Structure 1
Amino acid sequence: MLSKLFELLYHKVYVNIVVERSQTIVYVQECSTEGLVVSESQTFKTTTINAKMKEFINSFTSESPFYYISVLDTSESQGALPTCISRDMSKFFDLEFSKHMCYKKNWAYYSSKVDLNRLERSYPEIGIDFIFSPFVLLANFFKDKIDSSLAIFLLVEDNYLSLAVFNNSELLYSHHINMEHNNESDVLMMENQNDEVDLELDTSINLEEIDVHDDVELTDDFGDIEDLDSIGEIDEFAEEEIEEEIEEEVTATIEEEATGFNEDYQRYSLIQSSINRFYKDEKYKSEFVQDIYIADAIGVSGDLKRYLEEEMFLNVFVRHLDLCSELVQLTKAELNEI
């Protein structure tokens, strides 16, 4: 009774932390009993908590005793198992050094004890209330499809892929992939593609053919011969400077396009390898899958969709996903069960 009274006096504050490759997004919702009061998001150029991040979070949590801090699990050694029966779990993964929980008594998700402890110690100044598995997030986001279809479900983060195959809410297979730690053959393939793109663009652009003289305005009154020499030096300097700027712009464009192309092709290759494992490994109850639903948290290009359609002959459906907003929903759902 007393706790209910306090809940009427204070707002609830939901702090959600998503760590990406080189930055951290912190999204905060402040809610009253009547609904949303304020929401605010900030991005910090760090993957660990710093003074500015702590100050931003404390500006909200200091106003209410009812605050909840949630993070998305970034552990590399995590996944999901197609069973919730303890004696059967070892058929799929050795859980001796992992923590696991069941999801609606249908399947289980796990994560390394070492990684979880490390994650908790990463935020000593603020503490963590909930660590959510990307597979739980994926299951909630595609609940309408998972409960009634056979399909591949994929969460695309900045640096991770979380892939699961469901058949009418039954988990058949899962794979959590760190894109930075994939096998060497994928890395070598990407490097070769980089070299080919660089070579193609280098042969198509000849900086010597670019006429920069039209951009330099000269006056009719040259003065003495020393002034003429000075103008000649300026003209040569301007030409070199323009050529350098063009080279920098071309290089930046090449790198940006090559990075986007390579990452989408890398994602496709990793998805293809993972699905092949699902089909070939006898411990999984493999079914032929034609559909893939992608929860896109970063805004991938259309290339990934095209690769999956043209190379794997999949029917591809893409939904945009806001990781921070989804964490809020998971936190609220968790609190309702307590």
Structure 2
Amino acid sequence: MVIGIIVILIGLLLPALGRASSKARRTQTQTTLNEFMKSCEAFYQEFGFYPGVVSDEELAENPMMSGTQNALLHLMGGAMRRSDVTDAVWNDFQSNSAGAAAQVVSFSSGDVAFRPDLIGRGPFLRGKQYPPFYNPKENELKLDLDSSGNTFLVDQGSIEVGGNALPLRQALPTLLDAWDAPVLYARQIRTTGPLVCPTTVSNYRPQFSAEVFSTVTGYNSLGERGGRQETLSIIHPDGPNTGIPYYPAHIAQYIRSPTLGPWDSTNPTENSALGGVPRGSILIWSAGEDNIFLSKHDGPGSPGDPQDNLFEEQYFNPKVTDEYDDVIVFGGS
């Protein structure tokens, strides 16, 4: 009898404990994203632009790291643009204690030197060494040693870490949510044009670069659950909605300002979904508990009734995005 009562109590308590843990992790993730956003806003107040050592257009052409890693290098140091500094500062930055040169990568606007060992010192900008704008808590940063099958990222350069030569994307830390999955940072390039499209196609001229989103949404699996991005994410570039404008238009659905109300709901299409204005000029985005960015089993969908098309009339409204377990924070005007 006693054993039976204990079993019943355990059966009642375990789901409650699971819900409490889930809520705590979501709160922790929200806090992480908010603190990162505060750092980005402080950076903007100081310099008049949002962090990212490499421009989004150049990162789209050469995606050798994620958009989030790009921002961390500006917030915490560890990279320097040749055009920003004098010869003396540039030469000094390239020399480390072991006498080895920094990794220099050439972009269309000039060279960028990378020193992962200096992340945490703070950025050197406008002739001045600044303290770091972002100070992560324990376990919020880690090296992305396998990139979890993100074939969108490319290997560039070589940095020695723990006796192993790693490409830059694996030698640079990335920001994690409470489910041990990389989070996404993106910033607005311009205030006109389609909300999200590839910047490598010259005639699109989008507000946000689809390629920068893909540096994180392009992972095939994420986090402690190994969320099956390529199979289930409606915004994976090679997932259920591969191709233009399909996966960018689903991103646009999620980041568009809800103040505009439904968008041409009498004729909802992937192209009309690209119109509008974003909820902010920068964003920090976590895939949430399922470790999948906008899973077709989440939101209006379920495992028994997956939804990978938000361009149908019943979904073409600002409220549909509230149903996903993803966590997102917007900043800027």
Q: Which of the pair is proportionally richer in strand?
A: 1
TM score, norm. by length of structure 2:
0.25
Which structure's CA Rg is the greater one?
Answer: 1
TM-score normalised to the size of structure 1?
A: 0.25
Q: Greater share of helix residues, 1 or 2?
A: 1
